[in-house]
């Protein structure tokens, strides 16, 4: 009786795997989202993923571009968790030093929690942070009868100066951005209703 050698079995198995891999189509690379120039002179970038979406809107200013970034890190039909930032860039395509909503930062921070868009139930949490952590915090809740006053632009800038904070993220009018999103939608940030004054002034 002839006995087949087992020595070539690993070689045959490896060859079969190689051939199987070759027969599979090469995965297609997901194209990078592209910036869109809008009629008002601003630039818009939309990014859509199953569990994350973001909008970046950059407005031309004397020193470059003032950019608003809103990342929805938990998109749902009736609710969202939005992380909002603003910064000055030399061009809209200038890459951020840190991912949206991630990592430690110094300056002004804002998060918007939309609990029920239909009922307009939401909260806005504002923070002022240094490299040592959060120094001040204010929370607005739409259904609460008494809410603290929002941080004003002058108040935040005075606090930065008094505490020697060189902010990575400057102040923005986060409650106004929240109203625009809650009363409209996430897509409202792409419309002409959003101007530089919407989030850069009291």
Residue 136 backbone phi and psi in degrees, to 5: -140, 150
Per-residue confidence band for 187, with pLDDT thresholds at 50, 70 and 90? confident
Per-residue confidence band for 26, with pLDDT thresholds at 50, 70 and 90? low
Of 23-37, 49-63, 66-80, 122-136, minimum mean pLDDT range: 23-37
* In the predicted structure, residue 62 carries a pLDDT above the cut 90: yes
What are the pLDDT digits (tens) for 125-181? Answer: 999 999 888 999 999 999 888 999 999 999 999 999 999 999 988 999 999 999 999
Helix, strand or coil, per DSSP, at residue 138: strand
Residues 6 or more apart whose Cβ sits within 8 Å of residue 46: 33, 36, 53, 54, 55, 190
Strand-pair partners of 70: 55, 84
Residue 81 backbone phi and psi in degrees, to 5: -125, 105
Q: How many CA atoms lie within 13 A of 104 on its CB side?
A: 6
pTM surpassing 0.85? no
The mean per-residue pLDDT over the stretch 89-117 comes to: 80
8 Å CB contact between 74 and 65: no
Supply the pLDDT for residue 32.
72
Q: Which two tokens stand for residue 78?
A: 């009736």
Per-residue confidence band for 16, with pLDDT thresholds at 50, 70 and 90? very low
Supply the pLDDT for residue 22.
44
Angle value at C-alpha 96, between 90 and 100, nearest 5 degrees: 135
Distance CA 74, CA 120 (A): 17
8 Å CB contact between 18 and 33: no
Give the residue, 51 or 188, on which the prediction is more confident: 188
Identify the DSSP state of 84: E
* In the predicted structure, residue 43 carries a pLDDT above the cut 80: yes
């Amino acid at each position: 009786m002839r006995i087949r050698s087992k020595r070539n079995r690993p070689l045959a198995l490896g060859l079969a795997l190689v051939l199987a891999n070759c027969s599979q189509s090469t995965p297609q690379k997901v194209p990078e989202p592209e910036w869109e120039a809008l009629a008002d002179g601003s630039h818009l970038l939309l990014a859509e993923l199953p569990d994350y979406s973001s909008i970046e809107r950059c407005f031309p200013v004397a020193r470059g571009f003032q950019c608003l970034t809103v990342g929805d890190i938990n998109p749902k039909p009736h609710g969202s968790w939005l992380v909002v930032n603003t910064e000055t860039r030399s061009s809209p395509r200038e890459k951020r030093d840190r991912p949206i909503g991630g990592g430690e930062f110094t300056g002004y921070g804002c998060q918007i929690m939309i609990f029920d868009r239909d009922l307009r139930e939401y909260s806005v949490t504002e923070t002022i942070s240094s490299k040592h952590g959060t120094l001040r915090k204010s929370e607005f809740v739409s259904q609460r009868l008494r809410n603290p006053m929002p941080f004003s632009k002058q108040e935040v800038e005075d606090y930065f100066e008094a505490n020697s904070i060189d902010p990575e993220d400057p102040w923005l009018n986060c409650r106004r951005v929240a109203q625009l999103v809650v009363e409209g939608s996430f897509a409202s940030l792409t419309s002409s209703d959003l101007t530089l004054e919407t989030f850069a002034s009291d």
